[in-house]
Amino acid sequence: MPVPQSAAEFMAAQVARLRDCRVRKRIVFPEGGDSRVQAAAERLAHDGLLDPILISQNPIAVPAGVTLIQPDRWPKVATYDAMYHESRRAQGVTII
Protein backbone atom coordinates (compact mmCIF):
# COMPACT_ATOMS: atom_id res chain seq x y z
CA MET A 1 0.00 0.00 0.00
CA PRO A 2 1.56 3.33 -1.00
CA VAL A 3 2.10 6.05 1.58
CA PRO A 4 -0.39 8.93 1.23
CA GLN A 5 1.10 12.20 0.02
CA SER A 6 0.02 14.03 3.19
CA ALA A 7 1.84 11.47 5.37
CA ALA A 8 5.01 11.77 3.28
CA GLU A 9 4.89 15.58 3.53
CA PHE A 10 4.36 15.41 7.29
CA MET A 11 7.34 13.07 7.76
CA ALA A 12 9.54 15.25 5.52
CA ALA A 13 8.64 18.30 7.63
CA GLN A 14 9.49 16.44 10.86
CA VAL A 15 12.83 15.27 9.47
CA ALA A 16 13.68 18.81 8.35
CA ARG A 17 12.75 20.15 11.80
CA LEU A 18 14.99 17.62 13.53
CA ARG A 19 17.90 18.33 11.18
CA ASP A 20 17.60 22.08 11.85
CA CYS A 21 17.94 21.68 15.64
CA ARG A 22 21.27 22.86 17.00
CA VAL A 23 21.32 20.22 19.72
CA ARG A 24 20.34 16.67 18.86
CA LYS A 25 17.25 15.55 20.71
CA ARG A 26 17.17 12.40 22.83
CA ILE A 27 14.18 10.12 23.00
CA VAL A 28 13.71 7.18 25.35
CA PHE A 29 12.00 4.02 24.14
CA PRO A 30 10.77 2.01 27.16
CA GLU A 31 10.00 -0.99 24.93
CA GLY A 32 13.68 -1.52 24.03
CA GLY A 33 13.31 -5.29 23.81
CA ASP A 34 10.91 -5.09 20.86
CA SER A 35 12.64 -5.72 17.53
CA ARG A 36 10.52 -3.05 15.78
CA VAL A 37 11.57 -0.43 18.33
CA GLN A 38 15.20 -1.50 17.96
CA ALA A 39 14.97 -1.15 14.18
CA ALA A 40 13.39 2.30 14.48
CA ALA A 41 16.06 3.44 16.96
CA GLU A 42 18.80 2.15 14.68
CA ARG A 43 17.35 4.01 11.70
CA LEU A 44 16.95 7.27 13.66
CA ALA A 45 20.55 7.07 14.87
CA HIS A 46 21.88 6.11 11.43
CA ASP A 47 20.06 9.03 9.77
CA GLY A 48 21.46 11.37 12.43
CA LEU A 49 18.03 12.65 13.46
CA LEU A 50 18.30 12.08 17.22
CA ASP A 51 20.01 10.06 19.95
CA PRO A 52 17.74 7.11 20.84
CA ILE A 53 17.88 5.47 24.27
CA LEU A 54 16.46 1.96 24.70
CA ILE A 55 15.34 0.58 28.06
CA SER A 56 15.48 -3.19 28.11
CA GLN A 57 15.86 -5.87 30.79
CA ASN A 58 17.66 -8.22 28.44
CA PRO A 59 20.99 -7.22 26.94
CA ILE A 60 20.74 -6.84 23.19
CA ALA A 61 23.15 -6.06 20.37
CA VAL A 62 23.14 -2.28 20.45
CA PRO A 63 23.68 -0.55 17.09
CA ALA A 64 26.08 2.38 16.83
CA GLY A 65 24.59 5.62 18.12
CA VAL A 66 21.99 3.90 20.31
CA THR A 67 22.26 3.88 24.11
CA LEU A 68 20.99 0.93 26.14
CA ILE A 69 19.85 1.26 29.75
CA GLN A 70 19.18 -1.85 31.81
CA PRO A 71 16.91 -0.85 34.73
CA ASP A 72 18.36 -3.41 37.14
CA ARG A 73 21.79 -1.76 36.80
CA TRP A 74 20.47 1.78 37.39
CA PRO A 75 18.84 2.19 40.83
CA LYS A 76 17.34 5.58 39.95
CA VAL A 77 15.35 4.02 37.10
CA ALA A 78 13.53 1.82 39.60
CA THR A 79 12.75 4.93 41.66
CA TYR A 80 11.41 6.76 38.61
CA ASP A 81 9.44 3.65 37.72
CA ALA A 82 7.73 3.67 41.12
CA MET A 83 7.07 7.42 40.92
CA TYR A 84 5.59 7.10 37.43
CA HIS A 85 3.41 4.18 38.49
CA GLU A 86 2.14 6.06 41.53
CA SER A 87 1.26 9.17 39.49
CA ARG A 88 -0.44 7.20 36.66
CA ARG A 89 -2.00 4.34 38.60
CA ALA A 90 -5.49 5.86 38.31
CA GLN A 91 -5.18 5.90 34.50
CA GLY A 92 -4.51 2.16 34.44
CA VAL A 93 -0.69 2.03 34.28
CA THR A 94 0.59 -1.23 35.76
CA ILE A 95 4.05 -2.51 36.69
CA ILE A 96 5.14 -5.51 34.68
pLDDT tens-digit map of 29-77: 988 888 899 999 999 999 999 999 998 887 678 888 898 888 776 666 5
pLDDT value at position 30?
86
Rounded average pLDDT over 7-17 = 92
Which residues, listed in sequence order, are joined to residue 68 by a DSSP beta bridge? 54
pLDDT value at position 78?
61
- The SS3 call for residue 3 is coil
Domain map (residue ranges) of the chain: 24-91
Rounded average pLDDT over 15-40 = 89
pLDDT value at position 43?
92
CATH topology classification for 24-91: Rossmann fold (3.40.50)
